[in-house]
Chain A
Amino acid sequence: MFYRSSSALCLIFLAAFLPTFSEASIVKEQSIAIEALGKGGLWGLGYDSQLTERIGLGVVGSYYVLDGTQFLSFSPYVTLYPFIAGSNRGLIQLGPQFLRQSISSPVPEWTGTSSNRFGGELSIGYEHNGHLIFRVYGMLSFGQSGIAPWIGTSLGISL
Chain B
Amino acid sequence: MDRNQFGDQPVKTVLLAYLVIAFTTACAPGVGGSSSWIAAETIQAPLQVEIAEPRVAMTPPQNIRVVTFNVHYGEDVDALARTFQNNPALQQADIILIQEIQSFPEESTSRARRLADVLGMGYVYAPARSFGSGTHGLAILNRYPLQNVAVMELPKGEIVLSTERRIALRADVTGASGTLRLINVHLDTRLNATERILQLRPALLDAPEPTVVGGDFNTNPLVWAFNLIPIFPWSATGSSDQSSTLDQYMKAVGYQTPTAAFGETVSYPLLKPRIDSIYVRGLNTGAGAVERDVSVSDHWPLWLDISQ
Binding site for B on A (CB under 8 A): 34, 36-37, 41-43, 63-69, 71, 73, 97-99, 101, 103-107, 109-111, 113, 115, 117-121, 130-132, 141-148, 150, 155-158
Q: Collect the chain A residues with CB atoms within 8 Å of residue B93's CB.
A: none
**Chain A residue at minimal CB-CB distance from B205:** A109
What separation, in Å, do the CA atoms of A36 and B225 have in the docked complex? 13
Name A69's contact: one of B15, B194, B249 (CB within 8 Å): B194
Q: Is the CB of A117 within 8 A of B25?
A: no
Q: Check B21–A43 contact: CB distance below 8 A.
A: yes
Residue B171 CB within 8 A of the other chain: no
* Chain B count of residues within 8 A CB distance of the other chain: 46
Determine chain A's interface SS by DSSP, over half rule: strand
B29 to chain A, nearest CB (A): 5
Known: A103-B193, A131-B3, A157-B8. A67 touches B237 (CB 8 A): no
Q: How far is the CA of A98 from the CA of B245 in the complex (A)?
A: 21
The answer to whether the Cβ of B175 comes within 8 Å of any Cβ in the partner chain is no
Contact between A42 and B233, CB atoms less than 8 A apart = no
Taking A66-B223, A67-B29, A146-B236 as given, write out 5 further A-B residue pairs in contact, using a Cβ cutoff of 8 Å, ordered by the A residue number.
Answer: A73-B237, A106-B198, A132-B6, A145-B236, A148-B234
> Is residue B45 within 8 Å, beta carbon to beta carbon, of the partner chain?
no
B18 x A107 contact (CB < 8 A): no
- Min Cβ gap B261→A in Å is 17
Chain B residues packing against A (C-beta within 8 Å): 1, 3-6, 8, 11, 14-15, 18, 21-23, 25-30, 191-195, 197-198, 201, 223-225, 231-241, 245, 248-249, 252-253
Q: Which 6 A-B pairs have the closest CB atoms?
A: A119-B237, A131-B6, A68-B194, A143-B237, A65-B26, A67-B192
Question: Could you tell me the distance in whole angstroms from the C-beta of A22 to the nearest C-beta in chain B?
Answer: 27
Complex alpha-carbon distance, A119 and B150, angstroms:
47
Contacts of A97 in B (CB 8 A): 235, 237
Give A155 Cβ to nearest chain B Cβ, in Å. Answer: 6
Contact A43 B18 (CB under 8 A): yes
Q: Known interface pairs A34-B14, A66-B224. Does A107 touch B197 (Cβ–Cβ under 8 Å)? A: yes
- Bound CA–CA A111/B252 (angstroms): 8
- Please tell me which one of the listed residues A41, A43, A109, A157 contacts residue B4 in the complex, with CB atoms under 8 A apart: A157
**Complex CA–CA separation, A148 to B223 (angstroms):** 14
Bound together, the chains give a CA A107 to CA B244 distance in angstroms of 17
Q: Chain B residues near A120: list those with CB within 8 A.
A: 237
- Report the minimum CB–CB distance from A58 to chain B (whole Å): 17
Q: Is the CB of A103 within 8 A of B245?
A: yes
Bound: A65/B253 CA distance, A: 25
Query: A41's contact among B26, B232, B252, by CB below 8 Å, is which?
Result: B232
Cross-chain contact B194 with A67 (CB below 8 angstroms): yes
Complex interface: chain A residues within 8 A of B238 (CB): 41, 71, 73, 99, 101, 117, 143, 145
Complex contact A99–B197 (CB within 8 A): no
Across the interface, do A42 and B22 meet the contact criterion of CB distance under 8 Å? yes
A31–B30 Cα gap in the complex (Å)? 38
A41 contact set on B, CB distance < 8 A:
231-232, 234-235, 238
Contact indicator A69/B193 (Cβ below 8 Å): yes
- Of chain B, the residue at the smallest CB distance from A97 is B237
Residues of A within 8 A of B233 (CB): 145, 148
In the bound complex, what is the Cα–Cα distance between A144 and B3 (angstroms)? 41
List of B residues within 8 angstroms of A115 by Cβ: 239
- Decide if A118 touches B237 in the complex (CB within 8 Å): yes
A133's closest neighbor in chain B, by CB? B3
State in angstroms the CA–CA spacing of A142 and B238 once bound together: 10
Q: Are the CB atoms of A105 and B194 closer together than 8 Å?
A: yes
CA distance A91 to B197 in the complex (A): 43
